[in-house]
Chain A
Amino acid sequence: MGLNLSQILHQLEQMGAALAEHEAALRRLQPAATKALEHAASLPPEELAARVARAGDRYRGARPSDEPVRQRFPPPALEAGLVIAGADGSQIYPDRHAAALYYVIQVGSLAIELGSGRAPQTRTLPEIHFRPEDLYDDDGHPVNNAVINGRRDALEMKALADWAESAAGRPFLALLDNGLLLWFALQVREQQQKEVDRVLKAYLGHLDGLRTRGGTVAGFIDRPRSADVLALAHLATLPPEAINDAALRANPFRALTDRIVFEQLLEPGERSACFIDSSPLNRDFETRGHQVRFFYLKTDARGTIARVEVPAWVADDAAALGRVHAGILEQCRATGGFPYALVRAHELAVVTNEDRQQLETYIQQRMLEHNLAPRTSQKATTKRWTRGRRKHRV
């Protein structure tokens, strides 16, 4: 039985009204948020920095970079001969109800030589992990899905570093369909420190490789929900002596996102100033020379706002930052504000339900060949019995 829509129709009506009300409330807040940001921009940089320093580790908002907070940057010219690579990954998580325990990661990537007229080069790299050391952590606990996501992120970065090697000597931009910080590390760090360290080491190693090969890298976040810059704007409104936990928590712009503010502030093609992400994880990245910074970019005329994350060595290099800015805009032209390279990388990476079922069949066949009796759990079997009604048509 599918979702019984008729029973929730009334709730859906309420939901529509609530969404409209919420949106209107956000729009009412937006002028005050913009004003607060202007106030932050009017403060001398050292004063703003002093307030951030006073807020200390409890502050989770953006930190200003060398660029003025309120500054807008028009699109720079696109470099001739730029090579743009994109990578994305997908996975099949371990299923204890399946015939065997395993997981799959597949990374799709491509490299486009702008101006060549040639079809991009593409790669799809699947990996199946079935050994105990892949499936269990050092304490014998099954790896959780967040760890698999982290391993996938590291492989995506590796794919981009490999493309950087292929494009050595030419201007190169690598795009990742996500932020650069490995969020899985924050999720599971306390429970699985060793695994987090291993993945982080691999990921940052690939980032090192990308840098030493002369590449540029950016993480692209579509429809960002962060409010880091608004937290900075709120902090700027607080008198230095009043900065404390309670005052930081009393942020009136909490319900807003930076996106709503930059939709108003930026013209199509413009980017905001760069800011520094104040996540504790960024300290690990900073230690390894990859402090993560970000800016907002209006990627098309419809007003799509993306958050773009770059390492400090890109943000501090005007040519590299311009390459990111212009390269992303070029990639967004035909695809409505989302980079073409990432659209295609996703297509190359995606593992469908049909793929999953086919793989399961092959695994069961291989088990039979080795005189093993593949058996799914009874729960999985009964789910299969009731899954979907057959349609008979030719």
Chain B
Amino acid sequence: MDPDDRPIGRVTRCSTRGFVGAVRLPEPEWPVFGTFCRAEAQQGQSQVIGLVYDLSIEDDELARQLAASEALSPEQLADSQVNRQVPVEYHALAVGYLTGDVFTQSLPPQPPLTLAPVYRLTAPQVRLFTDRLDFLPLLVAVPEIPVDDLLAAALKTAAAVRPESERRSYLVRAAAECARLLGRDLTRLESLVRAIRP
């Protein structure tokens, strides 16, 4: 099975603005900040596109016990870091939806279904979705999340799935769009441009 075919969790809470996914996976398989993902909505008629922005590791009493122990063996440490399925929860911001083969960059008509599996977008899907930059205003407008870092992570992810020769021009185009959106806040804009500079 292709790694992208494996779910990275299931939806536990959701709204049209985003969803929360939860999963028990070993550390190498966790999603990362700025991962584009999808979850089924509308009885399978559409897929909500999310951008992972907050990962948290849920309370795990065994890990706490081991952390406090002075007798932790190297095998137990390796077991915790490699094998143990640590409960991870992550928030994804809705930045669009997929209907058939068509991506739309606006809030989805309905949130995903509870317990819907969440998948990473494949590299071609990320490339297709980020061809247009209409998802950027959805990001910029969200309060109480680290928007600028998320913007930078999303744009770097989008650039990374493109051929080397197209990455710079893509980032320049994205920076221009950010300049339009953040034109009144030059400090933020400068910091963002610095973060995505190739």
Asked if A334 meets B75 with Cβ closer than 8 Å, knowing A394-B13, A394-B14, the reply is no
Contacts of A336 in B (CB 8 A): 65
CB of B73 within 8 A of CB of A114, answer: yes
Which bracket fits the contact residues of B?
Answer: 20 to 34
The smallest beta-carbon distance between B105 and chain A, in angstroms, is 21
From DSSP, what is the main secondary structure of chain B's interface residues? Answer: mixed
Which of A114, A344, A393, A394 contacts B79 (CB under 8 A)? A344
Q: How far apart are the CA atoms of A119 and B72 in the complex, in Å?
A: 13
Which A107-121 residues have a C-beta within 8 angstroms of B?
110, 112-114, 116-120
CB of A119 within 8 A of CB of B73, answer: no
The smallest beta-carbon distance between A283 and chain B, in angstroms, is 39
CB of A120 within 8 A of CB of B62, answer: no
> With an 8 A cutoff between CB atoms, is A249 at the interface?
no
The smallest beta-carbon distance between A123 and chain B, in angstroms, is 11
Contacts of A118 in B (CB 8 A): 75, 78
CB of A394 within 8 A of CB of B15, answer: yes
> With an 8 A cutoff between CB atoms, is A381 at the interface?
no
Render B137-178 as a binary contact track against A, CB cut-off 8 A, 1 for contact.
Answer: 000000000000000000000000000000000000000000
- The stretch of B31-39, B50-58, B81-89, B181-189 in contact with A is B81-89
Which B36-77 residues have a C-beta within 8 angstroms of A?
62, 65-66, 69, 71-76
> With an 8 A cutoff between CB atoms, is B127 at the interface?
no
Contacts of B15 in A (CB 8 A): 394
CB of B79 within 8 A of CB of A334, answer: no
> With an 8 A cutoff between CB atoms, is A98 at the interface?
no
Q: How far apart are the CA atoms of A110 and B13 in the complex, in Å?
A: 34
Which of B65, B66, B71, B73 has the largest count of A CB atoms less than 10 A from its CB?
Answer: B73
Which of A112, A117, A334 contacts B66 (CB under 8 A)? A334
CB of A340 within 8 A of CB of B84, answer: no
Which bracket fits the contact residues of A?
Answer: 20 to 34
Which of A340, A347, A393 contacts B76 (CB under 8 A)? A340
The smallest beta-carbon distance between A293 and chain B, in angstroms, is 29
CB of B73 within 8 A of CB of A394, answer: no
> With an 8 A cutoff between CB atoms, is A71 at the interface?
no
CB of A114 within 8 A of CB of B75, answer: yes
The smallest beta-carbon distance between A318 and chain B, in angstroms, is 25
> With an 8 A cutoff between CB atoms, is A333 at the interface?
yes
Which of A113, A119, A333 contacts B82 (CB under 8 A)? A119
CB of B84 within 8 A of CB of A113, answer: no
Which of A120, A122, A335, A393 contacts B75 (CB under 8 A)? A120
Contacts of B82 in A (CB 8 A): 119
Which of A117, A330, A340 has the largest count of B CB atoms less than 10 A from its CB?
Answer: A340
Which A376-394 residues have a C-beta within 8 angstroms of B?
393-394
Q: How far apart are the CA atoms of A340 and B83 in the complex, in Å?
A: 14
> With an 8 A cutoff between CB atoms, is B196 at the interface?
no
CB of A334 within 8 A of CB of B18, answer: no
The smallest beta-carbon distance between A221 and chain B, in angstroms, is 21
CB of B17 within 8 A of CB of A117, answer: no
Which of A117, A335, A340, A393 contacts B78 (CB under 8 A)? A117
From DSSP, what is the main secondary structure of chain A's interface residues? Answer: loop
Q: How far apart are the CA atoms of A394 and B14 in the complex, in Å?
A: 6
Render B82-100 as a binary contact track against A, CB cut-off 8 A, 1 for contact.
Answer: 1110000000000000000
CB of B84 within 8 A of CB of A347, answer: yes
CB of B20 within 8 A of CB of A394, answer: yes
CB of B13 within 8 A of CB of A120, answer: no
Which of B19, B72, B75, B81 contacts A116 (CB under 8 A)? B75
CB of B71 within 8 A of CB of A333, answer: yes
Contacts of B76 in A (CB 8 A): 112, 334, 340
CB of B13 within 8 A of CB of A393, answer: yes
The smallest beta-carbon distance between A70 and chain B, in angstroms, is 30
> With an 8 A cutoff between CB atoms, is A343 at the interface?
yes
What is the chain B residue whose CB lies nearest that of A336?
A: B65
The smallest beta-carbon distance between A301 and chain B, in angstroms, is 11
CB of B75 within 8 A of CB of A117, answer: yes
Asked if A334 meets B78 with Cβ closer than 8 Å, knowing A347-B62, A394-B15, A394-B18, the reply is no
Contacts of A347 in B (CB 8 A): 62, 84
CB of B78 within 8 A of CB of A119, answer: yes
Which A30-86 residues have a C-beta within 8 angstroms of B?
none
Contacts of B72 in A (CB 8 A): 334
Render A323-336 as a binary contact track against B, CB cut-off 8 A, 1 for contact.
Answer: 00000001001111
CB of A334 within 8 A of CB of B73, answer: yes
CB-CB nearest 7 A-B residue pairs: A333-B71, A119-B78, A119-B82, A334-B69, A117-B74, A394-B15, A334-B71
Chain B positions within 8 Å of A, measured between CB atoms, are: 13-15, 17-20, 62, 65-66, 69, 71-76, 78-79, 81-84, 115
Given contacts A333-B73, A344-B79, 6 further A-B contacts (CB under 8 A): A113-B75, A114-B73, A114-B75, A333-B69, A347-B84, A394-B20
Subset of 19 A-B contacts with CB under 8 Å: A110-B79, A112-B76, A113-B75, A116-B75, A117-B74, A119-B78, A119-B83, A334-B66, A334-B73, A334-B76, A335-B65, A335-B69, A344-B79, A347-B62, A347-B84, A358-B115, A394-B13, A394-B15, A394-B20
Chain A positions within 8 Å of B, measured between CB atoms, are: 110, 112-114, 116-120, 122, 330, 333-336, 340, 343-344, 347, 358, 393-394
